[in-house]
């Protein structure tokens, strides 16, 4: 049995977010809706946000995907709620650095997202973990004028 290293990937906090996702659903009349697919695997995510005066007042995710992509989305919604949208984007940059195995700066007030650091050992799954963050980035960049 060689499932020991799987435990690095599927840590209990990750499986908890997967099985009990936070902020799952859709915000009606939010300020931002972003759909994103992972074309290589069929995972899809819809992010809806309510951003008021640059502050993420509310964010929800919906979609289907593997445990890593769904847990990452759940963690992200918790991490960015109440944050300035630019701060949220900067958090995404740090998350990407962590995925690439580079030095990163993730602090305790960012929630559970550091639990995904084990994904770096599974290169094929990095795109799963970054899907929701990429969606956030896409949404903010395409609606920059409105903010």
Partner 1 sequence: MNVNDIRKDFPILDQQVNGKDLIYLDTSATSQTPSVVIDAMTEYYQSYNSNVHRGVHTLGTHATEGYEQARMKVKSFINAKRFEEIVFTRGTTAAINLVARSFGDMIIEPGDEIVVTEMEHHANIVPWQELAKRTGAELNFIPMEADGTLTKNSIEATIGEKTKIVAVTHVSNVLGTINDIKSIAETAHNNGAYIVVDGAQAVPHMTVDVQDLDVDFYAFSGHKMLGPTGIGVLYGKSELLDEMPPIEYGGDMIDFVDLRTSTWTDLPVKFEAGTPMIAEAIGLAAAIDYIREIGPETILAHEKELADYALSRMKSLEGIEIYGPDSRAGLITFNLTDVHPHDLATALDSEGIAVRAGHHCAQPLMKWLGVSSTARASFYIYNTKEEIDSLIESLKRTKEFFSYEF
Residues that bind partner 1 (CB under 8 A): 1-3, 5-6, 9-12, 14-16, 19, 40-44, 64-68, 122, 124-125, 128
Q: Residue 19 or residue 90: which is nearer to partner 1 going by CB?
A: 19
Helix H or strand E segment including 64: strand 55-64
Residues 78, 74: Cα–Cα separation, whole Å: 7
Give the shortest CB-61-to-partner 1 separation in angstroms: 15
Shortest Å distance, C-beta 66 to partner 1: 4
Neighbours of 68 (CB within 10 A): 25
What is the 8-class DSSP label of residue 113? Answer: G
Nearer to partner 1, 49 or 65 (CB): 65
Query: Between 2 and 107, whose beta carbon lies closer to partner 1?
Result: 2
Query: Please, what is the end-to-end C-alpha distance for the chain in angstroms?
Result: 52
Least distance CB 126 / partner 1 (angstroms): 12
Nearer to partner 1, 15 or 147 (CB): 15
CA dihedral sign, ordered 134, 23, 104, 12 = negative
Q: Closest approach of Cβ 134 to partner 1, in Å?
A: 17
List the beta bridge partners of residue 52. 55
């Amino acid at each position: 049995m060689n499932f020991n290293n799987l435990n690095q990937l599927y840590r209990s906090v990750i499986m908890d977010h997967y099985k009990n996702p936070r902020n799952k659903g859709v915000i009606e009349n939010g300020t931002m809706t972003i759909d994103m697919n992972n074309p290589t695997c069929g995972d899809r995510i819809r992010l809806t946000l309510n951003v008021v005066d640059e502050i993420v007042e509310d964010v929800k995710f919906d979609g289907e995907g593997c445990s890593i992509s769904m847990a990452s989305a759940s963690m992200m919604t918790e991490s960015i709620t109440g944050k300035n949208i630019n701060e949220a984007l900067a958090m995404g940059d740090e998350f990407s650095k962590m995925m690439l195995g580079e030095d990163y700066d993730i602090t305790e007030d960012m929630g559970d997202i550091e639990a995904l650091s084990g994904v770096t050992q599974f290169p094929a799954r990095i795109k799963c973990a970054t899907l929701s963050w990429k969606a956030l980035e896409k949404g903010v960049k395409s609606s920059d004028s409105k903010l």
